[in-house]
Amino acid sequence: MRTIPLGHTGVEVSALCLGAMYFGTRTGEATSLALLDQYVAAGGTFIDTANIYAHWAEGGQGGESETLLGRWMKQRGNRADLFIASKVGFEYTGVDRGLSAGRIEAECDKSLRRLGVETIDLYYAHVDDRATPLDETLAAFDRLVQAGKVRYVGASNYTAWRLEEARAVSAAGGYPVFCGVQQRHTYLRPKPGADFDPQLAANDDLLDFCRVRSAEITLLAYSPLLGGAYTRADRPVPAEYAGPDTDARLAALRAVAAAHGATPNQVVLAWMLHSDPVVIPVFAASTPQQMAENLGALDVALSPGDMAQLNGASG
């Protein structure tokens, strides 16, 4: 699979990152293992999970996704070939929200145990915690890196100004610098004032920040396919995306997809990979057909004209 440099790390990661959020809960064991195998067979190595996945799903407590990934890696003996991302900071069963040093250290040990690995390749602060000094959070991440428990750190659901603040704190303290920011992001733009609390959607500020600092921090987009809303009658476009340019953007998406013999989902993912800054989609799939379609985005080469059509579509 094509690879993309991850921020300042010098490491190249798969252009499409597989989200494992529902593996082990909503998506059953056998299907999850088959989807992971399918992703790896296509050359993918970048897998995204979190300590809390998926405590809100029926029968879930949190930790199921990491535990399933751990079983799969053990069975396949493929840990060394993979780049595993996990996260800390949101609340789940028996654990409060926050990024205190103690919480980070305890949750990292739990994630390592569930995953059955010695090191997490990319460890994200899952949500900003303004009640804990950044110095405390980043120093805790630094200790994890020094101990070999974590290779690189990232942030998720952070504003651009907080990332800049974190960067200054890391520089002053000699702590690791965030190499990626994972935000809600898709081709459709949230309508003005849309609120996804506690999630944050990438806004113009964040895109500008990541463009200017592209050698340092990479934007990763979660929920890029809006859960299937681009193509499925049973999945309406969420109300937060019903903005003034929604119809024009959907029309442009369909036109570009038709011209390429591709699907709208594929064009959304390809648009991210062709954007400035380059955006790594963190996508999910719950069937082999969805996985095949989504991986097919890598074959969609968008021209500058396509990108102008997609980016210029407005109401």
87 — phi, psi (to 5°)? Answer: -145, 160
Q: Is 24 in the site for ligand NAP (CB under 6 A)?
A: no
Q: What residues contact 11, with CB distance under 8 A and at least 6 apart?
A: 5, 83, 152
202 near ligand NAP (CB under 6 A): no
Q: Which of 144/269 has CB closer to ligand NAP?
A: 269
Spell out, one character per residue from 31 to 70, where the chain touches ligand NAP: x when CB under 6 A holds, - when not. -----------------x----------------------
Of 214 and 290, CB closest to ligand NAP: 290
Residue 176 or 264 having the CB closest to ligand NAP? 264
Read off the tokens for 227. Answer: 């859960």
Name residues contacting ligand NAP, limited to 211-270 (CB under 6 A).
222-228, 231-232, 265
Dihedral angle computed from the Cα positions of residues 30, 34, 35 and 39, in that order, rounded to the nearest 10 degrees: 160
CB of 221 to ligand NAP, least distance (A): 8
**104 and 95 Cβ atoms separated by less than 8 Å:** no
Q: Which is nearer to ligand NAP, 203 or 290 (CB)?
A: 290
294 binds ligand NAP (CB under 6 A): yes
Which residues are CB-neighbours of 53 under 8 A, at least 6 positions away?
20, 21, 22, 23, 24, 25, 60, 62, 63, 64, 65, 66
In the complex, the smallest distance separating the C-beta of residue 123 from ligand NAP, rounded to whole angstroms, is 13
246 vs 290, beta carbon nearer ligand NAP: 290
Q: Is 290 in the site for ligand NAP (CB under 6 A)?
A: yes
**86 bridge partner residues:** 123
Restricting to residues 131-170, name those near ligand NAP by CB under 6 A: 156-157
* The two structure tokens encoding residue 94: 């028996």
Is-contact 200 183, C-beta < 8 A? yes
CA distance 84 to 104: 17
Q: Per rule CB under 6 A, is residue 21 in the interface with ligand NAP?
A: yes
User: Which residues here bind ligand NAP, judged by CB under 6 A?
Assistant: 19-21, 48, 126, 156-157, 182, 199, 222-228, 231-232, 265, 282-286, 290, 293-294
